[in-house]
Structures are given as C-alpha cells and as structure tokens.
Chains A and B, each alone.
Chain A
Amino acid sequence: MDIQTTQTLIKMENEQHDENKPKEKKKSVLKNIIGWIVYLGLLAGLIFGTPKALSYVLDTSYPMAAITSGSMWPALEKGDMVFIKGIKSREEVDVGDIVVYQNPQGFTIHRVVELQAARLVTKGDANNISDTPVSYQDVIGKTVEFQEKPFRIPLLGNVSILLNKR
C-alpha cells in the first residue's frame, strides 16, 4: 500500500513539473533575450562611447589614429593604433615629440626635428628628408607616451584602415 501511495505522489509531482515546463522555458527565453539586449547595449556603448570619452579626457577631437605607413618605423608600425593628446599652446611641443598635423592630403604623424618661430619641421624616422614645415595651428596633438615611448596598440589600426578603404 505504501509503495502505491508513493508512486501516486511521484506521478502527481511529475505532472506538476510537466505543467511548469512551458512557463520555465518562456522565462529562460525571456532571460536570454534580456541578457542579449543588455550585452549589445553595453557593446554599442563601448564602441560609440569610448572615442567620446577619450576625446574628453585627451582634450582633442581626434583622440585615436591608425598608422597607415612605415615612415615612423620602428617607433610606430603600420597597423598600430595610437592615442593623441590635444595641445593648447606651442610651448607643449618639443623636439623629439611625435605630433599629428593636418595637411591637404589628410593627417601626418611624424617626429618634430626643429622648432621655428611660426612653424615646426617634422620628419618620419624612416624617411631621409624632412617634411615641409607646418604652422602650429595645423598641429592637432602629440602621441600619448608610456615609459618614454609612444603608447601603441599593434594591429588595431588595421580595422580603421580596412574601414576607410571601403
């Protein structure tokens, strides 16, 4: 008799479990969807928010730059991503700094080799000749340094290079 009662109880419990199953499945699907929405939201926030946050912290509209040539080898390599710190006055620029400046072709990231009264002269480390002097107003900023070397993330700049190619 005891065994029969136990069997009946187990059967009833199983039936209750079966009734709860669709509800649990729905809950789990909903949880998954919410999880994905939160995850995608965080990802989008990181992708779009990071440049803005960096722009604020580094005080420039161009906080990141991709290295597209080997003219600064070996200090900077093609495909590197570097961070740019905005400069407010010419006193912040010294010979030996790696600066970013705007020119008709786009942007150039080269090392300062000479400071003149109204302009500065740059040169790529791997180049033999200096660039045409540029005015201080055209200088956007200089590279962020870490342990006296430009802070760079290898290969990450390739993403930007590929996107610009398209």
Chain B
Amino acid sequence: MNKLKLAIIIVLAIIGIFLVVQVINASKYEMVVNVVEGENVLGLNPLTERLDFGDLSRNNRMTRQITVANGGSMDTFVMVWKFGEISDLVHVDRNFFVVEPKEESKISFEVKIPPSAETRKYEGKVWIFRLPKP
C-alpha cells in the first residue's frame, strides 16, 4: 500500500512539474478591446506585445494574428487557452493542431462586439502552449 501511495505521489509530482514547465514556457499575451459608442468606429493600436483590438463599436469585428513558428526538429502540438472577460467575444480560428519542424502557422483571433456589450474596456489573456509531439 505504501509503495502504491509513493508511486501515485511520484506520478502526480511528475505531472505537476510538467504542467508548471508548460505554463512557464507558454507564450502569454494580454487581450484588450475598448467598446465605444457609435457606428463603424474602429481604432487600431498595432502593438506586438499584446493583442490590442483597439476601439470598436457594437456590431463590429476586428482580427489579429499570431504566428507560431517551429524552429526545432520535432513536431510541436499547439494549444490555445483564452480566459478572462474578453474571451467570450474572441473567436480563435484554430486550436489543438500540429506545426511541423521548420514550418510556421498563423492563429487568427477575431473579436466581435455584440449589441449587448457595454461601452467600456474588456480584457483577458491568451496563453499558447507548445508541446513536443512524440
């Protein structure tokens, strides 16, 4: 019984360490959109360090892209996790896919402002995990 407990603890510890390493290695971006009054209002803030969708009025949409490059020699499994208030408004065009060695792939993030959105800033985060595919 003790050996079994020890084995379970070791397995859980390995999984825990693996998860911590993946979280540390993940590419992390902030997402932000400022919902403003008016029709067809667009104001872009082209920053590279975060996914800033700028100013948008209701019923408008804006797309930004992130390029995932695989410079290694192994297939890389890519997983996108978005969270925060803005995440309900953001559509990711692809998730859970593989990037082959020396290849790159684009992920589009489209924010769509519904008529029920309030005029204020909506924020959130997106984490892109890259796991070596055995």
Closest-by-CB residue of B relative to A126 is B114
**Which chain B residues lie closer than 8 Å to A52 at the CB level?**
none
Is B116 in contact with A74, judged by CB distance below 8 angstroms? yes
Q: How many A-B contacts at CB < 8 Å in the complex? A: 23
Closest-by-CB residue of B relative to A72 is B116
Is A128 in contact with B59, judged by CB distance below 8 angstroms? yes
Contact code string A61-87 (vs B, CB < 8 Å = 1, else 0): 000000000100111011000000000
Closest-by-CB residue of B relative to A128 is B115
Is A74 in contact with B59, judged by CB distance below 8 angstroms? no
Q: How far is the CA of A72 from the CA of B15 in the complex (A)?
A: 38
Contact code string A112-141 (vs B, CB < 8 Å = 1, else 0): 000000000000011110000000000000
Chain B proximity of A68: nearest CB distance (Å)? 13
Chain A proximity of B6: nearest CB distance (Å)? 20
A side interface size, CB within 8 A: 10
> In the complex, which residues 103-131 of chain B have their Cβ closer than 8 Å to any Cβ of chain A?
114-117
**Which chain A residues lie closer than 8 Å to B88 at the CB level?**
70, 73-74, 77-78
Q: How far is the CA of A82 from the CA of B89 in the complex (A)?
A: 21
A126 in contact with B59 given A70-B88, A73-B88, A74-B88 (CB within 8 Å):
no
Q: How far is the CA of A78 from the CA of B89 in the complex (A)?
A: 11
Q: How far is the CA of A18 from the CA of B113 in the complex (A)?
A: 74
Is B116 in contact with A125, judged by CB distance below 8 angstroms? yes
**Which chain B residues lie closer than 8 Å to A77 at the CB level?**
88
Q: How far is the CA of A50 from the CA of B89 in the complex (A)?
A: 33
> In the complex, which residues 46-84 of chain B have their Cβ closer than 8 Å to any Cβ of chain A?
59
**Which chain A residues lie closer than 8 Å to B114 at the CB level?**
70, 73, 125-127
**Which chain B residues lie closer than 8 Å to A125 at the CB level?**
114-116
**Which chain A residues lie closer than 8 Å to B115 at the CB level?**
125-128
Closest-by-CB residue of A relative to B114 is A126
**Which chain A residues lie closer than 8 Å to B116 at the CB level?**
73-75, 125-126
Closest-by-CB residue of B relative to A73 is B88
Q: How far is the CA of A26 from the CA of B94 in the complex (A)?
A: 55
**Which chain B residues lie closer than 8 Å to A74 at the CB level?**
88, 116-117
List 3 A-B pairs, minimum CB-CB distance, nearest first. Answer: A126-B114, A125-B116, A126-B116
What are 22 inter-chain pairs, A to B, with CB distance below 8 A?
A70-B88, A70-B114, A73-B88, A73-B89, A73-B114, A73-B116, A74-B88, A74-B116, A74-B117, A77-B88, A78-B88, A125-B114, A125-B115, A125-B116, A126-B114, A126-B115, A126-B116, A126-B117, A127-B114, A127-B115, A128-B59, A128-B115
